[in-house]
């Protein structure tokens, strides 16, 4: 099963369309009031609310947007477990810094697909470079596929940027009508929107009850169809890389002549995955996409994502004595995943901060995901984070755009 993180307004974990498909945090004992897995959140059985710092079930989804999005993933894929990660506040706004925290939580708890039905027009990814770095890490070290709504401003995102959908590695999804035409509200861009999926009058879970459903329109509804498709492909081929999943989704589209000028792929997601939401569409070329999709090898040059080196990890010690500190230091230096420089406690960071250098050539020598999780589970540290210089821990907001408004429903 693939775990799909819904980075959104929250989810109603009691809804009948979701409750049997929810991700369950095996490291937590429900209701005991203890952070059993030491990830900083108490009783986060089905996910995390970044806004309040509480488990996702404590707040639910007052807005309803995230529940609707999650229901679409469940309809698209029988292979998806739904993880709720709340990014957006009651007014529908959020911050890119909180998005980083959402990505961190999702990745470290096993999410392999991250759906983002939110964003901001007029924001270049370079202005939120820390977001790009987090996506790079998620793809390279965790094998995660990132999907985002292209936006509802009827704009050309080749000319007016949109974040996070324009980020490298992010699958940007526009919306189509039941007839296979671009929805009037949907953004488009032959270089920036990757493909389209149904996004008009999509019926899915209504968060205001545990049984109801509601029809909504938006690129927010199109993106989770693609996220569900990605989860299905991951389940079929667990060894597939994010790039291979993306390549398969892009090559198996139903091509439409008008959409060739509006997206990279020139088409709509395969009928195999869109069938619950719209009628099957004929491809306007000799090939058709009604067959079952299989992952195809991804062709890229050696500089593709996955080759970047993210080597520095920051560990915050839990008030150690000097003897304990030395014992931990010696234990870390002896680990096979540390390089010859090993571990250091620079004076500038104080006695509780440990900087760990991890072997760069992780594909041959170590799996950084495993290293990261083993450090968190060692019991020595209050927190374990990547160094801010590679975009995970924190950042200076002085020269960046950090806020956005409204989910893309």
Q: Active-site residue among 74, 77, 165, 220?
A: 220
Q: Sign of the CA dihedral 92, 94, 98, 104?
A: positive
**Is residue 220 annotated as part of the catalytic site, yes or no?**
yes
Helix residue ranges per DSSP H, 177-270: 219-236, 242-251
Per DSSP, the three-state class of 213 is strand
Catalytic site includes residue 65: yes
Give the span between the Cα atoms of 307 and 178, in whole angstroms: 40
CA distances (Å), origin 321, targets 141, 324, 351: 33, 5, 10
Distance of CA 93 to the CA centre of its chain: 18
Longest dimension (CA), the chain: 72
Contact 389, 383 (CB under 8 A): no
Which residues does 238 contact at the CB level (< 8 Å), separation at least 6? none
Q: Which of 15, 65, 68, 380 is catalytic?
A: 65
Which tokens hold the place of 91?
């007014």
Backbone phi, then psi, for 231, in 5-degree steps?
Answer: -65, -40
Question: Residue for token digits 């999709």?
Answer: 293
Exactly one of 8, 61, 63, 98 is catalytic; name it: 8
Q: What are the CA-CA distances from residue 87 to residues 50, 118, 190, 208 (Å)?
A: 6, 9, 29, 19
> Collapsing DSSP states into helix, strand and coil, what is residue 273?
helix
Measured between alpha carbons, how far is residue 228 from residues 37, 173, 232 in Å? 28, 13, 6
Query: Which residues form the catalytic set?
Result: 8, 65, 220
């Amino acid at each position: 099963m693939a775990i799909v993180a819904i980075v959104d307004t929250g989810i109603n974990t009691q809804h009948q369309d979701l409750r049997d498909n929810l991700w369950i945090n095996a490291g937590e004992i429900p209701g005991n009031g203890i952070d059993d897995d030491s990830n900083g959140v108490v009783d986060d059985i089905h996910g995390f609310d970044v806004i309040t710092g509480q488990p996702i079930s404590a707040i639910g989804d007052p807005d309803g947007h995230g529940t609707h999005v999650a229901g679409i993933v469940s309809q698209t894929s029988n292979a998806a477990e739904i993880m709720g990660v709340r990014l957006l506040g009651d007014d529908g706004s959020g911050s890119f810094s909180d998005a980083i925290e959402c990505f961190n939580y999702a990745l470290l708890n096993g999410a392999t697909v991250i759906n983002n039905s939110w964003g901001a027009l007029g924001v270049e990814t370079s202005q939120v470079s820390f977001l790009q770095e987090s996506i790079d890490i998620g793809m390279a070290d965790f094998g995660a596929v990132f999907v985002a709504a292209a936006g509802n401003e009827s704009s050309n995102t080749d000319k007016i940027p949109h974040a996070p959908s324009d980020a490298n590695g992010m699958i940007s999804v526009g919306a189509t009508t039941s007839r296979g035409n671009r929805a009037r509200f949907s953004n488009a861009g032959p270089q920036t929107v990757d493909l389209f999926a149904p996004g008009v009058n999509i019926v899915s879970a209504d968060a205001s009850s545990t049984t109801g459903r509601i029809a909504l329109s938006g690129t927010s509804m199109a993106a989770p169809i693609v996220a569900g498709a990605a989860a299905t492909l991951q389940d079929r081929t667990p060894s597939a890389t994010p790039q291979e999943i993306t390549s398969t989704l892009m090559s198996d589209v139903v091509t439409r002549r008008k959409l060739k000028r509006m997206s990279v792929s020139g088409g709509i997601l395969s009928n195999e995955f869109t069938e619950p939401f719209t009628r099957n569409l004929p491809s306007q070329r000799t090939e058709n996409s009604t067959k079952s999709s299989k992952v195809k090898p991804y062709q890229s040059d050696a500089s593709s994502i996955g080759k970047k080196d993210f080597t520095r990890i920051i560990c915050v010690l839990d008030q150690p004595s000097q003897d304990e500190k030395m014992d931990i230091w010696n234990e870390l230096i002896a680990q096979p995943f540390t390089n010859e420089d090993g571990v250091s406690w620079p004076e500038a960071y104080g006695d509780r901060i440990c900087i760990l250098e991890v072997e760069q050539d992780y594909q041959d020598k170590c799996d950084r995901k495993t290293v990261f999780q083993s450090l968190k589970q060692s019991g020595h540290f209050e927190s374990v984070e990547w160094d801010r210089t590679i975009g995970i821990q924190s950042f200076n907001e002085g020269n960046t755009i950090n806020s956005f408004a409204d989910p893309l429903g």
